[in-house]
Amino acid sequence: MSAATHADMPDPTSTARTQQPVPIALGPNGDRLLSDAIGSGGATLTDLAVARALVWDGGTADFPVLPDHVRWVQLNSAGVEHWFATDVFQQNPHVVFTSAVGAFAASVAEHALMLLLAGVRQLPEHLRADSWRPAELAPRIGTLRDATVTILGAGGIGRALIPMLTPLGAHVIAVNRTGTPVPGAMETVAVAQVSEVWEHTDHLVIAAPATPATKHLVERSALAALKPHSWVVNVARGDLLDTDAAVDALRAGTIGGVGLDVTDPEPLPDGHPLWSLPNVIITPHDSNPPQRRVPAFAERVAANVARFVAGQELIGVIDTTRGY
């Protein structure tokens, strides 16, 4: 974890005595919703030269050199693997960095549910149909009622998805790093024991963070252990699923289909086998639609600014040793 601690956060009692709002910078785009969020969190918008914190709404290329007095940076993305490809964390060991993890969870979970239901109910086949053929399609139409859905990576997205699945009669197995029970899940399993859940899984939703340790977390043997009706949905990062193994499993009928909002490679090139397989749904990484990103991020900014001002624990602190 970053060397900075909550002891570096502003002392709320000191702030109250001096009546000086905590100065926080915003950049590089300076969206009005974000500046308003900083104010609603109890801080004042200021220049980076005098700021105690920075709300960053840009990419890695333009990230500034941080002054020594900056103690916290709020990044605008939930996935931060691209930040680990830079030297930002190493160059600023005194700074607490937070991601937007969980800020977009409801939207992404809704998209995951859409992909899963569309697959289970054979929507791709219906959309391609040019004639009335219920006798052919009906035997393959499934349901989530009494189905077991394994959520691989039961963080913000997984926790948002569980209450969407349970009213439909699905049972959830949550997989997380430690095996700590997840509210609403029938069972929670540590990722080290994930191989034990495949035989009990009807459908799989991948929502884990992308780190070197999670690349191809769902590989050939995992797909082989699933069922011919199983749909695999990935709303995390493309390389958590072994693409070549998935293509082979789809062609062999080892699994029922895949619903992908992320791919490996991404963008998925024209002519890739996944485009032509009938039991595949691909959306272009839009589970978190652009028009919802800034408003959702603004809510996180306001919440974390209020916590920073009060000297409280921040949401989404990045652990640089774990990679997320």
290 membership: H or E segment, kind and range: helix 290-310
Report how far Cα 72 is from the mean position of its chain's Cα atoms: 22
Question: Helix (H, G, I), strand (E, B), or coil: what is residue 21?
Answer: coil
Our answer to whether residue 237 is catalytic in this structure is yes
Beta carbons of 122 and 229 less than 8 angstroms apart? no
Please report the DSSP string for 98-165 in residue order.
E--TTTTHHHHHHHHHHHHHHHHTTHHHHHH--S--HHHHGGG---STT-EEEEESTTHHHHHHHHHH
Query: Contact, 62 vs 41, CB < 8 A?
Result: no
Q: Which of 229, 266, 293, 299 is catalytic?
A: 266
Q: State the chain's maximal CA–CA distance in angstroms.
A: 76
| CB 309, CB 15: distance < 8 Å | yes
**Could you tell me the CA-to-CA distances from 237 to 111, 176, 209, 218 in Å, in that order?**
14, 16, 7, 12
Residue 159 appears among annotated catalytic residues: no
Place of tokens 């964390």: 89
The kind and range of the H/E element at 258 are strand 257-260
CA dihedral 265, 271, 276, 279 (to 10 degrees): 0
d(CA 139, CA 190): 35
- Quote the tokens at residue 173: 């197995």
Cβ proximity of 14 and 20 under 8 Å:
no
Annotated catalytic, 285? yes
User: What token pair was written down for 20?
Assistant: 């000086």
Q: Which residue has the tokens 């200021």?
A: 46
Catalytic residue among 6, 121, 229, 285: 285
Provide the annotated active-site residues. Answer: 237, 266, 285
